[in-house]
Structure 1
Amino acid sequence: MQRYTRKQIVESVPQTGFFGHPKGLFTLFFTEFWERFSYYGMRAILVYYMYYEVSKGGLGLDENVALAIMSIYGSLVYMSGILGGWIADRVTGTSNAVFYGGVLIMFGHIALAVPGDVAFFFLSMVLIVIGTGLLKPNVSSVVGEMYDEKDARRDAGFSIFYMGINMGAFLSPLVVSFFSDRYDFHAGFGVAAVGMFIGLIMFVLTRKKNLGLAGTQVHNPLSAEEKKNFLKIFIVSAIILAIILPLSISRNWLTIERFVALVGLLGILIPIAYFVVMYRSPKTKPVERSRLLAYVPLFIASVMFWAIQEQGSTVLANFADQRTQLDFWGIRINPAWFQSLNPLFIITLAPVFAWLWVKMGERQPSIPKKFALALVFAGLSFLVIIVPGYMAGEGALVNPMWLVLSYLIVVFGELCLSPVGLSATTKLAPEAFQAQTMSLWFLSNAAAQAINAQLAKFYTEASEMVYFGTIGLVSIVLGILMFLISPAIQEKMQGIK
């Protein structure tokens, strides 16, 4: 297999053609736009599809079970990125991984678009989880390969790329919910499938011309012997699963509740294993071990933040459906529309926060203090929900602007944590574990959603004030603690700011 240098790969990509950026950014921008359109559109109505009665076109699952499944699904999506990155690095290359992932996602949405039972529903989830694991981490890697490491356009290119993500995430709940309202849930899922199909068509038709060699190289290919062993392990594992899973389900050994608990346990154990392996590795230098120790409280803070933020598509989605006045100002609000608020606020406020940090310069808060602010904002976003519940009383519908305010406040926190966390991860990662540390960052979201699957059991209309109040206060207390220990964390970061 021919090996290409970084320079050869960059030179193979037309370097102008999309707002002054490499032409391939056009391909990847719209591939990710349509992938996120399909993902967030499907996610906007998925929890309702699970717990609505069969007579209303749903699956008729218990509400708390539906909320738990939704969280576990999100957790598995982030966990699958580890497998997707490994397959791209050792088998397919990132560009092919993006294509194969998009195909699996499309078939997953097609499966949702076809009326079926719970078993068929879980099949669609498996396809989407594996497909997203292949596509999501690798499409970002291809973006990076188009630029020289010293190219000043690199950060701006990623900013344009992430704008595509949020544009797709903003539009899709509005479009998909329109079709699910006008026809049924399956029509909405069908629109999501069409979105992914459009993204695939654009990717296939333009990648050769626009991407050149970017994403085509397998960076750490399996040897012939490793391929044989991998194939054997894959076949044996598939056979074992094909035997054990149906048997476990038929004999009631594997229930939804037990599966949720298992994934929840993995969501916590896998990050711990990552930390231990990296810390104890002889490849990790003493200064890097110190930085890993500094990363631990940042990771814990990230888990707490995402545990609140990701409930926007579970518990808050249920709150929007069951507890919110949806006839407002003469408009009938679809509860799925609230899912567009997060990307809308990010698109609007991200430039403001970027300007603020630049304007403050050396006076801006340190990384740990920004994380502390994020936790306080996240906690406040939950405490805000208590107010209308207390004022209206149990069973009464609340003004939707309270929910809008909650989504807005948590975005303040997200802009303090998410881009800062990505940057901090690249700075604090041991040199020998750059990619694994980035995977670890995304696992904080997987761990958060695994925890949410357990928390969802405690949410009911009767307990909502205690639920929101307890989680909100815990986040604020952790934020204050993070602020107090931030000097110690900063010291362990060994000069990283």
Structure 2
Amino acid sequence: MSAQISQKHPTGLYVLFFAEMWERFSYYGMRAILLLFLLDSVRGGMAMNAAEAAAIYGLYTASVYLLTLPGGWLADNILGQKKAIWYGGIVIMLGHIILAVPGGSGLFFLGLTTVAVGTGLLKPNISSIVGELYPEGGARRDAAFSIFYMGINLGSFLGIAIVGYLGERISWHMGFGAAAVGMLLGLVVFRYGSARHLKGMGDVPPARIATAESDAKNGTNKKLGYAFIGALVVLLIVLQSSGVLDMTTAQGLAKGAGVIIVIISASYFLFILFAGGLTRVEQYRVVVLIILFLAIALFWAGYEQAGTSLQIFAERHTQRVIGGWEVPSSWFQNFQPTFVLLFAPVLASLWIYLSSKNLNPSIPVKFAAGLILLGLSFFVMVAASKIAVTGQLASPLFLTFTYFLHTIGELCVSPVGLSSYTKLAPKRYVSQLMGIWFVGASLGNLIAGIFAGGFDEENIMQMPGLFNQVAIITTVFGLILLVFWKPIKGWMGGIS
């Protein structure tokens, strides 16, 4: 079945597949060793405590996705999607080169910031072009995003294996340098492949194909934007000066970033709904996008524990010695991309088959299934952590099964969600709303970092309770989506 599906897809999909694969090699490879580097006090790392390191990790991964919002705006209004991808890839590569140079905390944070800026420019726009390849939408587009998602996870697998090994076993900075090489290969693939197979796609910013009404609103929109930024700055000053937030620490800064993300997301959705010139059908579709945004933020808050609390659990509380050789703890993160590579073709074929029988589950049902599976995975971790609190090392099978449930849930949510945003978003806002999709991931990553910062190194007795919180919250939200799937589907205006 998967071979038959692949024959129906345009060559441009595979250009984007390999370009994204190498970009994800660089991102996930570096991410696999980032928390370990921040915690390390022996081999030239940053020697931070768990709370501070997890907060910085969360800030970085959140910033990567938060910056997709201005990245989408630049593509929609100035650069076009192809140029945004090209320039973003160059900036990412430069950031990894900076990280590869040992030079103290200042240079390190400059490198992190550079990678985040470049990823924000590249990430939403490459997904938008995938959507452009399938103007008819439907299950075929969902299958294409599942194939594209395999590229993401192949890159993740290779990056974690290679960069993780080089960083943990040889040199942190050699690992960062390998990530730069991966991004260079992605640039080469995109430069030459897009010229032949993506002609006429992503060249002209969509906002330049504007209506007279939208042109008339441009001046007002800019004034509203400036006023919003000013109000946001004032709010943060008030929160800091009143003692509600302390943004002089990494943990406080992470919480402040969470406030910013929530306010920006809510304000943007409200602006699109009431001042975006939408029809009533488009407004209902944006309401669906808001629901999916909340669901994906919650999903990633649990899923991204792979690089935070689950990474700490793998490092400190999991049996990792096989035949006298200790498995690098970062390699446990490779269960996720491995399972995606194994099961993405299965689910892509399943959606096509079910669609042919008029049995394809609706988008809210798939999201509900993903959240419930994520919740079940953390009930597994509750059992594992109860072993750890006795002072014993837990079997690696606990993390293996947890990541398996994560992956099946991810395949119900992430490629389907990417496809849904390209289908439901009004055409003139498509890249910006793809940016908002990734802002949901940003919020989830930030919550993941803050949550892991709550792991008290001196008090492992709290682990079962913390994992239990994640399990209950995600399962309940999934069940709520399952109950209300019919009205949500009705708001989608015939899009499936």
TM above 0.5, yes or no, is yes
TMscore range, shorter length: 0.7 to 0.9
CA offset digits 1:80-104 (Å, max 9, x no partner): 1121222223333322222221221
In 2: Cα distance, 1:467 partner to 1:426 partner: 35
Deviates more, 1:23-32 or 1:346-355: 23-32
Cα deviation, residue 356, structure 1: 3.0
Letter paired with 1:354? A
Match of 1:462 in 2: 461
Assess if the C-alpha contact under 8 Å between 1:107 and 1:127 holds in 2: yes
- Cα distance in 1 for partners of 2:141, 2:444 equals 30
Q: Does 1:171 align with 2:158?
A: yes
What per-residue deviation string (whole Å, max 9, x for no partner) do you get for residues 259-286 of structure 1?
A: 2122111221122112211221362223
> 1:303 pairs with 297, 314, 317, which one?
297
Code of the residue aligned with 2:300 in structure 1: it is W
Deviation at 1:185, TM superposition (A): 0.7
Match of 1:8 in 2: none
Alignment of 1:128-147 (within 5 A): 128-143=115-130, 147=133
Structure 1 unmatched runs, 5+: 1-17, 242-247
Separation of aligned partners in 2, 1:72 and 1:380:
27
CA distance in 1, matches of 2:372, 2:323: 32
Q: What is the TM-score of this pair, normalised by structure 2?
A: 0.82
Alpha carbons 1:75, 1:267 under 8 Å: kept: no
Q: Which residue of 2 aligns with 1:276?
A: 270
Residue deviations 1:300-319 (CA, integer Å, cap 9, x gap): 22221111011111111111
Residue 394 of structure 2 aligns to a residue whose secondary structure is: coil
Deviation at 1:325, TM superposition (A): 0.9
**Alpha-carbon distance, 1:321 to partner:** 0.9
Indicate the SS of the match to 1:56. Answer: coil
Matched-pair contact (CA < 8 Å) for 1:267–1:450? no
Q: Look up the equivalent residue of 1:181 and give its one-letter code.
A: E
Separation in 2 of the partners of 1:391 and 1:135? 42
AA partner of residue 46 (structure 1):
L
Q: Distance in 2 between matches of 1:138 and 1:488?
A: 30
Q: Deviations over 1:192-216 (max 9, x none)?
A: 1122223334444555455555444
Equivalent position of 2:213 in the other structure: none
CA–CA distance in structure 1, aligned partners of residues 129 and 483 of structure 2: 40
Matched, 1:404 2:392: no
Aligned CA distance change for structure 1 residues 123 and 479 (closer, same or farther; 3 Å): same
Root mean square deviation of aligned Cα = 3.3
**Which residue matches 1:472?**
471
Higher relative contact order (CA 8 A, sep 6+): 2
Note if 1:112 corresponds to 2:99: yes
Which residue does the alignment assign to 2:214?
none
After superposition, where does 1:328-339 map in structure 2 within 5 Å? 328=322, 330-339=324-333
Tell me the CA shift for residue 176 of structure 1. Answer: 1.2
| Separation (CA, whole Å) in 1 of partners of 2:188 and 2:440 | 33
Other structure's SS at 2:358 match:
helix
Alpha-carbon distance between aligned partners in 2 of 1:39 and 1:159, rounded to the nearest angstrom? 19
- Secondary structure in 1 matching 2:47: coil
Does 1:199 pair with 2:195?
no
CA contact (8 A) 1:83 1:133 kept: yes
2:184 is equivalent to residue 190 of structure 1: no
Match of 1:326 in 2: 320
Amino acid at match of 2:483: L
- Which residue of the other structure, out of 46, 60, 82, is the alignment partner of 1:59? 46
Work out the percentage of aligned pairs sharing the same amino acid. 39
Answering whether residue 411 of structure 2 is matched by residue 415 of structure 1, we say: yes
Report the CA distance between 1:439 and its aligned residue.
Answer: 2.7
Query: 333, 338, 343: which one pairs with 1:349?
Result: 343
- Against the structure 1 CA distance between its residues 398 and 352, is the aligned structure 2 distance closer, same or farther, given a 3 Å change threshold? same
1:313 pairs with 304, 307, 310, which one?
307
Task: Note the residue ranges of structure 2 that are not aligned, 5 or more in a row.
Answer: 1-5, 211-217, 234-239, 241-245
C-alpha change, 1:30 and 1:436, in structure 2 (3 Å) is closer
Q: Deviations over 1:340-375 (max 9, x none)?
A: 111111111122223333444434443323222212
CA shift at 1:468, angstroms?
0.1
Judging changes above 3 Å, is the alpha-carbon distance between structure 1 residues 99 and 440 closer, same or farther for their aligned structure 2 residues?
closer
Q: Paired residue for 2:257?
A: 263
State the distance in 1 between where 2:441 and 2:413 align.
12
Verify the 8 A CA contact 1:271 1:443 in the aligned structure 2: yes
Change in CA separation of 1:353 and 1:200 when aligned onto 2, cut-off 3 Å: closer
Letter in structure 2 aligned against 1:91 = I
SS at structure 1 position matched to 2:204: coil
1:13-33 alpha-carbon deviations (Å, 9 max, x no partner): xxxxx9786555554333222
User: Which residue does 2:362 correspond to in 1?
Assistant: 366
Aligned match of 1:384: 380
Q: Residues of 2 paired with 1:414 and 1:422: CA distance?
A: 12
After TM superposition, the score normalised by the length of structure 1 is 0.82
Shift of 1:457: 3.0
* Cα distance in 1, alignment partners of residues 111 and 437 from structure 2: 27
Once the two structures are superposed, residues 367-418 of structure 1 have per-residue CA deviations (whole angstroms, 9 ceiling, x without a partner) of 3232222121111111101112223534321111110110111112112222
Distance 1:87 1:299 in 2: 21
CA 1:366–1:109 in 2, change beyond 3 Å: closer, same or farther?
same
Q: Does 1:436 align with 2:432?
A: yes
Q: Distance in 1 between matches of 2:337 and 2:119?
A: 19
